[in-house]
A and B are shown apart, each in its own frame.
Chain A
Amino acid sequence: MIRSIEKQRNILDFTLSSLWRRRGKNLALLVVYTLVVFSLGSVMFFTQALKNEAAIILRGTPEIIVQKLVAGRHELIPVAYAQKITAIRGVEAVKDRLWGYYFDPIGRANYTLMVPESIDLKDNEIVVGAGISRVRQVFRGNAMLLRTYDGRPISFLIKGILSPESELLSSDLLLISAAGFRQLFGVPRHDATDLTVQVFNKKEIPTIAGKIVNTLPDTRVITRDEILRTYDAVFDWRGGIMIAILAGAVLAFLIFAWDKAAGLSAEEKREIGILKAIGWETTDVLQMKFWEGMVVSLSSFFIGVILAYFHIFYASATLFEPVLKGWSTLYPAFSLTPFISGYQIAILFFFTVLPYTVATIIPAWRAATIDPDVVMRY
């Protein structure tokens, strides 16, 4: 047992000095390999962290949302619908919500407008997200001019700026009073954007959703799970775009790795012959090549993963910002909560370390099975 460990130590020792002998080639390989792991790791960490973040935020969203449809399009819903929904058994409460989008020609950006439940705002007061504050250069206590649906300008007083911690969703958010909202968009008093429904028993959500559709056939019912699924799809799609772009890079890496690792040079083949002639077995040579592959691929893997981690969670994913971030035209500058799953690491490992190790072992095996007497003929 101890001899076997000593043997592995000796072989590893020789592998390291072997790697150092061809440091130019191996360093180039390490850099390219690290870059690939870094890029793939960044995309994975980023999409997963965003999904995670969104899931945390959406935990506070309503269990059921009811929207009115006209010709398949979202329409304003009569507030009176709330009474019909309240009559369904198992429904705890129904609230009407007012929200919408506003295109700001000055900032050339779309804002999300919402009437908050928890914040008391006077008719002419608003609270804006950090993104809007940056774009419009408006701060607490300033006035901000918005145009109504019929073109009249209204001045609102900025009561506060939303905290940057919730910037992922609030960067382009503008909170406004119900009266202000109705005035701005011309929404009648008896209408709302949609209704939110709270139920007593969470397990009954699908049943109650079904009953609402039966009672009010002109409505669409959205449950929280469906929203979460949509978010997942959106982030996967964004991640998918990056993966598609990176596929080219990965392919180039595979060709590079194959060329560098798989194609044993005549010099390396001769060395394998010498090792065999002086008493190394085929398995010893394979172990050496295995260690060689592991040293290069594991080093690149760990460096790449650590760099990706810092890039995403401490450097705000600077390199991917234009593709992966942003809800409207505002790019929220925010820090993600560090989150890594074993599954992600395993996937990354499977797609980077494994192919490389196989690529190095197979040609080494072919070279290692040559007869040692070949070196006698050089």
Chain B
Amino acid sequence: MIQLRNIRKVFNEGRPNEYIALHDLSLTIAAHQVTALTGPSGSGKTTLLSLLGCMARPTAGRIVLQGREITSLPERFLTDIRRKTFGFIFQQFNLLGGISVIENVMLPAYPLGQPFSTLKPQALGLLELFNLAHKAAAKVEWLSGGEAQRTAIARALVNHPEVIIADEPTAHLDTRLSREFMDIMGDFKAQGKTILIASHDPLVHESPVVDRVVRMRDGRITDSGVI
């Protein structure tokens, strides 16, 4: 599904604070599986996720998504791929404060020009799926950690993505909510979605839902986890 070929990512290239986040890294992510990236802080998990999710470009190397080379695409096309193919769940949830739960869920669909009359029921349906329909009109500041997490998941699904990318999704959750999160990921896998999770939480990479664990350190893959 996604192939990374000799990927290198350098931040602040040519400056005194130059930092190499990924060194000549190659990886193939299979479709309809749950892949976990694990490793200590600074190992390059988040950088790798952002490259996989078309949020950033590599300094060198190629990324191939469903047979199409996407590294050299202009920003417009990359954004289009990002919003149609990927749904993101961030470590801090990254919900927008001051607006309602349902507005947060609908946000990724706004630029696609989907009529409000169909978008709203669709967002409500997602909230129902996560037992949040009663909180649709509530402001996100009033949500508990678990509710905010589920709102973020609903938002990631609004554009029907094939791939779900989650960065340290359990960092702010207790054990029960973390397990609940992994169960939801299991459901998505059963629906045929591809899931990529970056986490150093054993609850994630030791979960039976996970098919493959890729271990990283210092911007390199130490164990590609191929079964």
Interface residue A274 (Cβ < 8 Å from any Cβ of B): yes
Q: Which of B55, B96, B107, B159 contacts A376 (CB 8 A)?
A: B55
Q: Which of A5, A21, A271, A279 contacts B83 (CB 8 A)?
A: A279
> In the docked arrangement, what's the CA distance between A92 and B88, Å?
90
Apart from A17-B103, A375-B94, what are 20 other A-B pairs with CB-CB below 8 Å? A3-B112, A6-B114, A10-B106, A10-B111, A21-B97, A22-B98, A271-B96, A275-B107, A276-B79, A277-B88, A278-B88, A279-B82, A279-B108, A280-B83, A281-B76, A281-B79, A283-B76, A375-B90, A376-B55, A378-B94
A-B contact pairs, 18 of them (CB 8 A): A3-B113, A6-B114, A9-B116, A10-B109, A10-B113, A17-B103, A275-B107, A277-B88, A278-B83, A278-B108, A280-B83, A284-B111, A372-B55, A372-B56, A373-B50, A373-B55, A375-B90, A376-B90
> Which residue of A21, A276, A281, A282 contacts B98 across the interface (Cβ within 8 Å)?
A21
Interface centre among B56, B88, B111 (most CB of A within 10 A): B111
> Does A7 sit at the interface, judged by CB under 8 A?
yes
How far, in Å, is B191 (CB) from chain A's closest CB? 20
B103/A378 in contact, CB under 8 A: no
Contact B55 A378 (CB under 8 A): no
Q: Which 5 pairs of residues, A with B, have the shortest CB-CB distance?
A: A279-B83, A21-B98, A3-B113, A7-B113, A373-B50
- Scan residues 334-378 of chain A and give those whose CB is less than 8 A from a CB of chain B: 371-373, 375-378
Let me know if B103 and A14 touch, CB within 8 A.
yes
Q: Which residue of B lies closest to A267 (CB)?
A: B97
Residues of B within 8 A of A6 (CB): 113-116
Q: A6-B115, A10-B116 are in contact. Are A373 and B56 (CB under 8 A)?
A: yes
B residues lining the A interface (CB < 8 Å): 46-47, 49-50, 55-56, 75-76, 79, 82-83, 88, 90-92, 94, 96-99, 103, 106-116, 119, 155, 159, 167
- Inter-chain contacts of B46 with A (CB < 8 A): 376-377
Closest to B86 in A: A279
Residues from chain B with Cβ under 8 Å of A279 in the complex: 79, 82-83, 108, 111, 159
Complex CA–CA separation, A4 to B111 (angstroms): 9
Which of B88, B94, B103, B112 has the most CB atoms of chain A within a 10 A radius of its CB? Answer: B94
Which residues of B have CB within 8 Å of A222?
none
Chain B residues with CB under 8 Å of A4's CB are 113
Give every chain B residue within 8 A of A377 (Cβ-Cβ): 46
Contacts of B91 in A (CB 8 A): 376
Residues of B within 8 A of A117 (CB): none
Interchain nearest-CB distance for A20 vs B (Å):
8
Complex interface bits, A262-296 against B, C-beta within 8 A gives 1, otherwise 0: 00000000010011111111111000000000000
CB B148 to nearest CB in A, in angstroms, measures 14
Distance from B207 Cβ to chain A, minimum over Cβ atoms (Å): 22
Q: Tell me the dominant secondary structure on chain A's binding face.
A: helix
Bound: A14/B106 CA distance, A? 10
**Chain A residues, CB < 8 A from B103:** 14, 17
Interface string of A1-45 (1 = CB under 8 A from B): 011111101110110011011100000000000000000000000
Task: Please name all residues of chain B whose beta carbon is closer than 8 Å to the beta carbon of A284 when the two chains form the complex.
Answer: 110-111
Alpha-carbon distance between A279 and B55 when the two chains are bound, in angstroms: 9
Give bound CA distance, A276 to B78, whole Å.
11
Which residues of B lie under 8 Å from residue A2 when comparing CB positions? 113
A11 touches B75 (CB 8 A): no
Q: Is B75 touching A281 in the complex (CB atoms < 8 A)?
A: yes
Q: Which residue of B lies closest to A282 (CB)?
A: B75
Interchain CA distance A43-B216 in the complex, whole Å = 69
CA distance A104 to B55 in the complex (A): 83
Contact call A280/B113, Cβ cutoff below 8 A: no
Known: A17-B103, A281-B75. Is A376-B49 also a contact (CB below 8 A)? yes
- Using CB atoms, name the residue of chain B closest to A3: B113
- CB-CB nearest in chain A for B97: A21
Contacts of A282 in B (CB 8 A): 75
- Cβ contacts under 8 Å, A5 to chain B: 113
CB distance from A79 to the nearest CB of B (A): 82
Q: How far is the CB of A90 from chain B (nearest CB, A)?
A: 73
CB-nearest residue of chain A relative to B56?
A373
Question: CB distance B79 to A277 under 8 Å?
Answer: no
Q: Which of B98, B116, B119 has the most CB of A within 10 A?
A: B98
**A269 vs chain B, min Cβ distance (A):** 13
A9 CA to B111 CA, complexed, in Å: 10
A18 proximity list for chain B (CB < 8 A):
98-99
Q: Are B111 and A371 in contact (CB under 8 A)?
A: no
CB of B121, distance to nearest CB on chain A (Å): 15
- Measured CB to CB, the nearest residue on chain A to B107 is A278
Interface residues of A in 236-278 (CB under 8 A from B): 271, 274-278
Shortest Cβ gap from B209 to chain A (Å): 23
Chain A residues closer than 8 Å to B155, beta-carbon distance: 278
- Would B113 and A17 count as touching, CB distance under 8 A? no
**Complex-state Cα separation, A249 to B216, whole angstroms:** 60
- What residues on B are CB-neighbors of A274 within 8 Å? 94, 96
Q: Are B55 and A280 in contact (CB under 8 A)?
A: no
* B94 lies within 8 A of A277 (CB): yes
Which of A2, A278, A281, A373 has the most chain B CB atoms inside 10 A of its CB?
A278
Judging by beta carbons under 8 Å apart, are A378 and B88 in contact? no
A6, A11, A21, A376: residue with the most chain B Cβ atoms closer than 10 Å = A376
Select A280's contact among B47, B99, B111, B114, beta carbons within 8 Å. B111
Chain A residues near B106: list those with CB within 8 A: 10
Q: A3-B113, A6-B115, A278-B108 are in contact. Are A371 and B97 (CB under 8 A)?
A: no
Q: Is the CB of B56 within 8 A of A378?
A: no
